[in-house]
Chain A
Amino acid sequence: MLFVRVLNIVAARIMAIEGEKNVYEVEIEASSLVKEIRESYATGKTRSYEWRMSQLQRLVQMLEHHEQEIAEAIVADLSKPMFEALAYEVAMLKNSCSLAVKKLKQWMVPEKVKTSITTFPSSAEIVPEPLGVVLVISPWNYPFLLSLDPVIGAIAAGNAVVLKPSEVSPATSSLLAKLVGEYMDNSLIRVVEGGVAETTALLEQKWDKICYTGNGRVGRIVMAAAAKHLTPVLLELGGKSPVVVDSGINLQVATRRIIAGKWGCNNGQTCVAPDYILTTKDFAPKLVDALKHELEHFFGENPLDSKDLSRIVNSNHFARLTKLLDEDRVSGTIVHGGKSEKSTLKISPTILLDAPRDSLIMNEEIFGPLLPILTVEKVEDSFDIINSGTKPLAAYLFTSNKKLKEQFVMTVSAGGVVINDTVLHLSVAGLPFGGVQESGMGAYHGKFSFDAFSHKKAVLYRSFAGDAPVRYPPYTKGKLRLMKALIGGSILSAIFALFGLSKD
């Protein structure tokens, strides 16, 4: 077996295509990387507050000194407006990092908990400890933010981390590898670049936690690989995040917020982007007009020329999106936009009205600048439509009707819900960010990141004194009586039982 493997490696070397690796080499690299990192982790270095702080502070420095370079890499990969790169990736990361630096001491403190008569006398606490060596796999759409945000949590919790950035955003991937190499403790924090082969090899290894951000198909593959080692996973997936728009609202503000959340965030290529709109038949024309009007303010008359819109990440996704529009009964429902430019991979903000319910665009996560509007008779009908699909990562409602808001919150299940805005709940560190069912499992951001990468160890301190003889054989009727009284919580019946005065 070993001989065959060696033969394969030799053959691969001889026939090597420049830059490509053989499957065996990649596997061996992955397993020796993990072995090396586990050995470093076993020294206990990451458990100290000092080490964690030093790494977080190095991250802050890295973000400050290389802000421009980072933004440029993101722009190179995605043609993202510089503003978005700085605001939605660099600034958010800086915030996340400084929060961790500020709160780490607090987060690391064990939580004292009350104990009850069942363990009296005792004291107890819940002690957070690192899980060990964790793997973070990140996507291409917010390549910097979604790589380092989980890493911040993992480091704060005292883990060693291997980060595998997406090969679909190569400039940021290689910049990450370079910067992490320069700034972080390489015995415990590493970046592995590469594609499917490298990711597969990494997934074969035993990790103490895997964090994956991406789509449901690969999410299943990650979880299946994790299952072999009983590895817990944090899956940040996606879905079709709906926006329900009621009448009687401040239409201008609502429209701006919808546009900002859809086209202002990587041109719709965002896991919590408004995917489609649900509104009443009566209100739809007003909404469409308002959208057209504000879109022109934001992106000008010729959005394909606007500098403030990301391009589509690559030709695969471009083809996928144009296919959604070309579908037979769909193209006729376009009421705005629909223009695309293959050479620059640009698609203009496109609105559709009542595309057929069984079309692809109404069933797959769009992840692009196409916004279908589905009309209903009464706005409440939209709740059933949303609940008949898989649970999305976010659900949005624009209304001034208090009762409708409460009904929405109670009946619509999603990772997160926002009333009268879109997307910005991600920047609230006090809220957990994660999905449910198809949109994911687990959550992070703020302290939830620290928790996601920790094991909360239950510690119970017992005294040798204060032993209840009821616990021990030989088991007598009297002991049972006393036990029952204690469980029942009644001191009086406990006393009666002690003196043999109870009824049983």
Chain B
Amino acid sequence: MESVGDLERDLEGMREYYSQGKTKEASWRKSQLKGLLTLLKEKEEDIFKALKQDLGKHHVEAFRDEIGTLTKSLNNALGSLKEWMSGRKAILPKIAVLSTAEIVPEPLGLVLIFSSWNYPFGLSLEPLIGAIAAGNTVVLKLSELAPACASLLANTIPNFVDNKAVKVFQGGPTVAEQLLQQKWDKIFFTGSARTGRLVLSAAAKHLTPVTLELGGKCPAVVDSLSSSFDRKAAVKRIVVGKYGACAGQACIAIDYILAERKNISTLVEMMKVIIKEMFGGNPIESHSIARIINKQHFLRLKNLLEDPNVKASIVYGGSLDEDHLFIEPTILVDPPLEAAIMTEEIFGPLLPIISLEKIEDSIQFLNSRPKPLAIYCFTKNKSLERRMISETSSGGVVFNDAIIQYAADSLPFGGVGESGVGRYHGKFSFDTFSHEKAITRRSFLTDFWFRYPPWNAHKWQLLECAYNSDYLGLLLVILGLKKPRRGSYQPAYSH
């Protein structure tokens, strides 16, 4: 790692490069985005290898959740960049003749992106796309917990994008702290709420705006579904939305399920069948489920199951392979609500199911807990749908599926409360790294004399009419045909 002096010199150089205006050009931005597309195409095999090494991720999962979504985002950004950069006109009141107003996006300047280890390519490049599209210079800090991926990115990015404008840093908390001491025009952070607070505190010193993509316990509320086709589809999506999403190590993975007591045994039986269908009798051999990232997290998850009441609630799975950092898909029914597994974000392949008397009780259950990044609701009941939207709060809500909102460019992706601040994806990525500058242009030709002191009742009358867009009144006052409103503006009160 560089010394602080070297870091400051580097950043100075980046600011200097930014001030030359290159990154503001649409052609520069397009060529960088194309460079990233090329990187993904040419390095695809290496990316698969690195993800396999760090997380044991299957290459189809890697494509589906990282390379595929990044490719889509890059194509979307390239196609929409012109539109995003063009700004929009603002409406002025009619009295503002010969004036125009518009809102024009401009880059913030030098931005810092903190990536995470669970989707090391997705969570690095997705924000990078937004930052570059918006015309910024970028420092990207990769997570040291996924070292093969970090090393690959650190070595390849400089060959595919303008390395005077984009710099990549590897390393751990010390590097992160050093970076946080510097002054940035924006910080984008993906990670835990605990670290999120530290980032926000550091940003406060420089009044740096921040986007925090955190997490939370994303619940899946599973209602009674009368059609067996629907039930099967729901269970498949739930199983993949937990165990197929980096073995549950995803901010939007289903954390736990809420279901009516009478449906739980059917639900569990169906899940067992689907798990076997998807991952075979011995899941570790399918190589289709990711590993736990490291020993520390493995022990953390093992610990969640240590509580005897929690252990007793396991109805499927539960076996842990410390040597291979592998935990098989595990289902629990009604572990105690005060246990850590129900109070902390699980971030692993353990799926508690909590039973309720009526499914509507889920609303109160959710409202008494911190706001999650996503609420998943499997139902055909329109009234429950409406109540879920209007009576709960979360980053987003998905009906009858999970995880898939990540791939929707038109929807903002971000949390609220404990699950985060700000949002991105699609145009929201561009906006999050932009300042929307308000521009008003006036003509010298239209000047209203009643704007200027010395003040008197007559000018006040005129101004009032102008404010109320009362053009007729304005005319009448000018012609001396309108009496002043009673009680308004008495010059005797000014001293």
Contacts and interface: CB of A to CB of B under 8 A. Distances in A.
Interface string B87-106: 00011110010000101101
Nearest to B233: A464
Contacts of B109: 437
A421 B442 contact: yes
Contacts of A257: 447
B278 A472 contact: yes
Given A220-B205, A416-B439, A230 B212 contact: yes
A253 B185 CA distance: 37
B284 to A, nearest CB: 13
Given A428-B440, A430-B90, A216 B399 contact: no
Interface stretch (A18-26, A126-134, A193-201, A284-292): A126-134
Contact of A224 (B60, B204, B441, B460): B204
Contacts, number: 308
B397 A417 contact: no
B197 A474 contact: no
Contact of B411 (A82, A126, A224, A484): A126
Nearest to A79: B495
A153 interface: no
B324 to A, nearest CB: 18
Contacts of B420: 230
Nearest to B93: A428
A274 to B, nearest CB: 14
Nearest to B102: A431
B410 interface: yes
Contact of A223 (B204, B463, B494): B204
B471 to A, nearest CB: 15
A256 interface: yes
A462 B96 CA distance: 46
Interface string A248-266: 0110011011011000100
Contact of B417 (A68, A208, A228): A208
A308 interface: yes
B397 A487 contact: no
B72 interface: yes
Nearest to B99: A421
Given A249-B444, A459-B397, A474 B405 contact: no
B409 A116 contact: yes
Given A428-B92, A460-B404, A417 B288 contact: no
Nearest to B280: A474
16 contacts: A44-B391, A91-B464, A115-B408, A119-B404, A230-B417, A249-B444, A418-B441, A420-B443, A421-B440, A428-B93, A457-B393, A458-B408, A464-B234, A470-B64, A473-B60, A473-B240
Interface of A: 42, 44, 47, 67-68, 71-72, 75, 79, 81-84, 86-87, 91-92, 94-95, 113-116, 118-119, 122, 124, 126-127, 129, 131-132, 208, 216, 219-220, 223-224, 226-228, 230, 232, 235, 237, 249-250, 253-254, 256-257, 259-260, 264, 298-300, 306-308, 387, 400, 405, 409-411, 413-421, 424-425, 428, 430-433, 436-438, 440-443, 455-465, 467, 470-476, 479-480, 483-484, 487-489
Q: Which 9 A-B pairs have the closest CB atoms?
A: A475-B60, A430-B90, A83-B455, A227-B200, A458-B396, A223-B204, A416-B438, A308-B453, A458-B411
